[in-house]
A and B are shown apart, each in its own frame.
Chain A
């Protein structure tokens, strides 16, 4: 389903210093439904990799295929259709500040042209799943960090995408909320969605017992079916 082929990303230096190599010849494949964790220290290239999958940035070299389609060769007008097949959970939430919890989640369905009736049926269900049904009418600035992150997960999952990219979703959360979020992502995976989780949280990875790809200085140093956090 997702094939990363010899991807490199080099950021040119703005001063006269050396360019930054964020990813260096990275390749791996994800077939079918999987829960894949991308681990590594800060600056290892995890976020860059997810941005490249979402076509938020262009690679310096290499290709990324999503269901056989090179995501960086897709026309800009069709890029939105690709992104509708991917749900994204951002570390900094990226919620619409002027929309309520309900509207933030419903927006993705509106983008896809889903009928109003279906939106009214599905959004409360997902809000129930993430435990935020009482917060439906609250704006993001009225929610706690954990609640905001649950809204982004609900938004990423509401339209049943093929893949969910979760970029350090627990980075800003306390241990209690961290566990909460990871349990939600596992539940989504069990419902049949591929989850790609980027994190540098050792405890999470070791408790999951699923595939782990370890990045170090932009290179894959380990790819294990039932991996652990080893750096």
Chain B
């Protein structure tokens, strides 16, 4: 049993090295396939980071009437924090709102003059609310506008921000849908390319497989070396792809961060390193062995 296995490995390696031209061609195709799988794998967390940074930028504010007391506002804050859809609440007092306005517009003399002419702090105290999901803002706004403390509230700016929120929501759902669509399409293409590359390589050996059967080789003894060859091709292709992935992630990290500061592809590479290796090995060796298994089967019927 063990000596048979040893012979299968030896024969597989010998076939691989003696048909080096064909082996290299198959490896290159497998590199493309594994790269595609790697891209799909890394796009998922990358799009999540982009989506969450987009979501972080969205919030709604509840402005309280001028006569609302701090204690009442704190009570409202406590009530809102109990809503499961709410992720985070930040209280901004009238003074803080004024400070923020001054800080933001200190270079604008017209606005600064207008503020001085008014002669008092025109800003209202507010609560900035972030929900877990963009789709939950409407629920939160409805709760505030119809809740028991609606008399304390001057306005909720949800309806004002609704078009922006809906736009962000549609972009995110678009990214998700396109991601799923391309994952399925590219996944199918990757499998087909790998299968056909190996099928062509094995077609070259179809006569050899028939001879193996005719001189008394069992199916497993005849098939074994081709599975080993498929595994070797997959393994080498995985190593090459891993090096390429490292190079791209390392080399392009700063350039991508210049466009999307929250997205570090080298960080993604490092934090998903083992999962990435697993995906690449599964794609490379798995597809290599599986495709070989299916392609050889046809010629074993003799």
Q: List A residues at the B interface (Cβ < 8 Å).
A: 54, 56, 76-77, 80-81, 83-84, 86, 88, 94-99, 107-108, 110-113, 115-116, 155
Do B211 and A110 touch (CB < 8 A)?
A: no
Do B208 and A81 touch (CB < 8 A)?
A: no
- Set B7, B15, B18, B217: member contacting A80, Cβ < 8 A: B217
Instruction: Report if A83-B216 is in contact (Cβ < 8 Å); known contacts: A96-B211, A98-B18, A111-B221.
Output: yes
List the A side residues contacting B211 at CB < 8 Å.
94-96
Do B208 and A96 touch (CB < 8 A)?
A: yes
Give min CB distance, B132 to chain A, whole Å.
Answer: 58
**In this assembly, does B215 line the interface, its C-beta being within 8 Å of a C-beta of chain A?**
yes
The majority secondary structure among interface residues of chain B is helix
Cα separation A184 to B215 with both chains bound (whole Å): 20
Do B3 and A94 touch (CB < 8 A)?
A: no
Give min CB distance, B209 to chain A, whole Å.
Answer: 10
Q: How large is the interface on B (under 10, 10 to 19, 20 to 34, 35 or more residues)?
A: 20 to 34
Cα separation A86 to B215 with both chains bound (whole Å): 8
Give min CB distance, B203 to chain A, whole Å.
Answer: 14
Interface residues of B in 1-46 (CB under 8 A from A): 3-4, 7, 11, 14-15, 18-19
Instruction: Report if A108-B219 is in contact (Cβ < 8 Å); known contacts: A56-B302, A98-B208, A113-B4.
Output: no
Instruction: Report if A80-B213 is in contact (Cβ < 8 Å); known contacts: A97-B208, A98-B18, A98-B208.
Output: yes
Kindly report which residue of chain A lies nearest to residue B221, judged by CB atoms: A111
Kindly report which residue of chain B lies nearest to residue A93, judged by CB atoms: B211
Instruction: Report if A83-B7 is in contact (Cβ < 8 Å); known contacts: A56-B302, A111-B221.
Output: no
Do B15 and A107 touch (CB < 8 A)?
A: no
Do B214 and A98 touch (CB < 8 A)?
A: no
Cα separation A98 to B208 with both chains bound (whole Å): 9
**In this assembly, does B272 line the interface, its C-beta being within 8 Å of a C-beta of chain A?**
no
**In this assembly, does B218 line the interface, its C-beta being within 8 Å of a C-beta of chain A?**
yes
Do A83 and B215 touch (CB < 8 A)?
A: yes
Cα separation A88 to B302 with both chains bound (whole Å): 15
Number of A-B contacts (CB under 8 A): 53
Instruction: Report if A112-B302 is in contact (Cβ < 8 Å); known contacts: A94-B211, A97-B208, A98-B208.
Output: no
List the A side residues contacting B302 at CB < 8 Å.
56
Give min CB distance, A153 to chain B, whole Å.
Answer: 13
Cα separation A95 to B215 with both chains bound (whole Å): 10
List the A side residues contacting B4 at CB < 8 Å.
113
Give min CB distance, A101 to chain B, whole Å.
Answer: 15
In the A-B complex, the 5 residue pairs with the closest CB atoms: A84-B216, A83-B216, A80-B218, A111-B217, A94-B211
Instruction: Report if A88-B219 is in contact (Cβ < 8 Å); known contacts: A96-B208, A113-B4.
Output: no
- Set B3, B11, B19, B208: member contacting A115, Cβ < 8 A: B3
Kindly report which residue of chain B lies nearest to residue A116, judged by CB atoms: B3
Do B19 and A98 touch (CB < 8 A)?
A: yes
Centre residue among B11, B212, B218, B302 by max chain A CB count within 10 A = B218
Do A83 and B3 touch (CB < 8 A)?
A: no
Cα separation A127 to B18 with both chains bound (whole Å): 23
Kindly report which residue of chain B lies nearest to residue A81, judged by CB atoms: B216
Give min CB distance, B6 to chain A, whole Å.
Answer: 9
Do B18 and A108 touch (CB < 8 A)?
A: no
Interface residues of B in 206-247 (CB under 8 A from A): 207-208, 211-219, 221
Interface residues of B in 95-121 (CB under 8 A from A): none
List the B side residues contacting A108 at CB < 8 Å.
215-216
Centre residue among A108, A111, A155 by max chain B CB count within 10 A = A111
Kindly report which residue of chain A lies nearest to residue B217, judged by CB atoms: A111
List the A side residues contacting B14 at CB < 8 Å.
98-99
Instruction: Report if A110-B216 is in contact (Cβ < 8 Å); known contacts: A94-B211, A98-B18.
Output: no
Give min CB distance, A98 to chain B, whole Å.
Answer: 5
27 residue pairs bridging A and B, Cβ less than 8 Å apart: A54-B214, A76-B219, A77-B218, A77-B219, A80-B216, A80-B217, A80-B218, A80-B219, A80-B221, A83-B216, A88-B215, A94-B211, A95-B211, A96-B208, A98-B15, A98-B208, A99-B14, A107-B212, A107-B215, A108-B215, A111-B215, A111-B217, A111-B221, A113-B4, A115-B3, A116-B3, A155-B215
Besides A56-B214, A88-B214, A98-B15, 11 other A-B contacts (C-beta < 8 A): A77-B219, A80-B219, A80-B221, A86-B216, A88-B215, A94-B214, A97-B208, A98-B18, A99-B14, A107-B212, A113-B4
Cα separation A80 to B207 with both chains bound (whole Å): 17
Cα separation A98 to B209 with both chains bound (whole Å): 12
Cα separation A80 to B302 with both chains bound (whole Å): 11
